[in-house]
């Protein structure tokens, strides 16, 4: 789908830029289901209607490419950040078409740089260009807007066929949403180190709602959260996966707390970490509210679903686990090899006779990482 340009004279148009870019996310897309949460190809549409039935979102896929994913969203976050940087620098005419250096983008998004990385980038752009969105999110029932995330993109290649630059034309809906007053929120660069689609989605929900909510944070019922996710699969599976994420409690900047209620579905509370308990205290994970007299307590089967265990791995690497995300978020830069940090942490646990599945193991590991020295 991209257009290719090979004239060497055009290469200079794509100057290296913005490698230390403050990251911004488009606010309206952060709490409603616009993206597939899985890397697997999804053809099933997303249909969302808000509880008050005033807001609708319908997202449909091209059969060849599938729905745009939450990993493809990284490109839009990068583009939004570039637009805001132009605005910060006082540009009079901020372009809807951006000249992008793929190498800079991949580095900013904490992705590998190489031949396959450029192929994956092209695949992501194809999904963003071919996914169709219909929503009335800005106008209620008055106007439903239909768009794709990007209108078009083109690749600039040198004589050897290597991609040197890209031109990405953003959808006007997205472009306007980024530049409108209050249209973006700053996000933690550690977001890109989250490997799970649901973790990434939940971080964005927490950033949107709990970022300025004070010490009480923001709480939402699990069924409502399920509807907002657009996730495939049934509610039971979603609840299990959310509970596991709460137990891991590894979202950058936000602590998670599951409030269990007798004969009612649980609520998920999100609180900014620097507004929670005293420094060094364990982050909240699961809170059991007192049962109402005369009401039945949850069954053993329900507890098995609600409380999946989490333990630090006794051997092996942690790169693709929740503990890898904790290490990336807490180790000082330049970071030591995570495998060596994991081995040191295991020795630390053995010396102090701390169980690998201690209740606050994630907080212990986060504190351990924060006290490590930077790599030489």
Which parts of the chain are beta strand (E)?
3-5, 24-26, 46-49, 56-60, 97-100, 132-135, 145-147, 150-157, 163-170, 184-186, 218-221, 254-261, 264-272, 286-288
pLDDT tens-digit series, residues 353-365:
888 888 788 888 8
- Is residue 140 very low, low, confident or very high in pLDDT (cuts 50, 70, 90)? low
The residues, any chain, with a CB within 8 Å of residue 228's CB and separated by 6 or more, are: 31, 32, 33, 48, 205, 220
pLDDT confidence bin for 4, thresholds 50/70/90? low
Contact 97, 82 (CB under 8 A): no
The CA–CA distances, whole Å, from 6 to 46, 166, 229, 297 equal 38, 12, 41, 68
Count the alpha carbons within 13 Å of 342 in the hemisphere toward its beta carbon. Answer: 22
- The CA-based diameter of the chain, rounded to the nearest angstrom, is 79
C-alpha closest to that of 152 among 131, 165, 171, 176: 171
Q: Is the pTM of this model over 0.75?
A: no
DSSP 15: -
Mean pLDDT over 160-181 rounds to 91
**Residue with token string 């709480």:** 219
Coil, strand or helix at 194: coil
């Amino acid at each position: 789908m991209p257009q290719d340009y090979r004239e060497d004279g055009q290469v200079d148009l794509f100057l290296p830029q913005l490698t230390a870019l403050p990251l911004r996310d488009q606010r309206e897309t952060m709490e409603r289901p616009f993206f597939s949460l899985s890397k697997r190809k999804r053809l099933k549409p997303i249909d969302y209607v808000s509880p008050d039935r005033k807001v609708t979102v319908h997202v449909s896929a091209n059969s060849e490419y599938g729905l745009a994913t939450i990993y493809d969203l990284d490109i839009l976050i990068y583009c939004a950040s570039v637009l805001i940087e132009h605005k910060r620098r006082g540009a009079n005419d901020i372009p809807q078409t951006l000249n992008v250096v793929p190498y800079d983008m991949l580095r900013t998004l904490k992705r590998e740089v190489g031949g396959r990385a450029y192929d994956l980038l092209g695949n992501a752009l194809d999904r963003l260009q071919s996914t169709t969105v219909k929503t009335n999110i800005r106008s209620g029932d008055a106007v439903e807007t239909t768009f794709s995330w990007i209108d078009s993109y083109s690749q600039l290649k040198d004589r050897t066929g290597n991609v040197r630059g890209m031109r990405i034309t953003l959808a006007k809906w997205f472009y306007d949403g980024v530049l409108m007053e209050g249209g973006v929120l700053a996000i933690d660069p550690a977001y890109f180190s989250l490997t799970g689609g649901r973790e990434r989605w939940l971080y964005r929900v927490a950033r949107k709602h709990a970022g300025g909510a004070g010490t009480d944070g923001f709480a939402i019922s699990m069924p409502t959260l399920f509807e907002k996710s657009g996730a495939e699969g049934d509610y039971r599976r979603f609840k299990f996966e959310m509970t596991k994420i709460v137990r891991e409690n590894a979202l950058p900047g936000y602590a998670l707390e599951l409030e269990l209620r007798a004969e009612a579905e649980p609520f998920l509370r999100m609180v900014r970490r620097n507004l929670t308990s005293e420094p060094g205290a364990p982050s909240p994970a699961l809170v059991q509210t007192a049962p109402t007299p005369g009401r039945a307590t949850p069954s053993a089967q329900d507890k098995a679903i609600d409380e999946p265990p989490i333990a630090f791995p006794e051997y092996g690497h942690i790169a693709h686990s929740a503990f890898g995300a904790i290490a990336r978020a807490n180790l000082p830069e330049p970071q030591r090899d995570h495998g060596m940090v994991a081995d040191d942490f295991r020795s630390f646990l053995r010396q102090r006779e701390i169980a690998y599945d201690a209740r606050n193991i994630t907080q212990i590991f986060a504190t351990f990482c924060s006290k490590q020295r930077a790599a030489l």
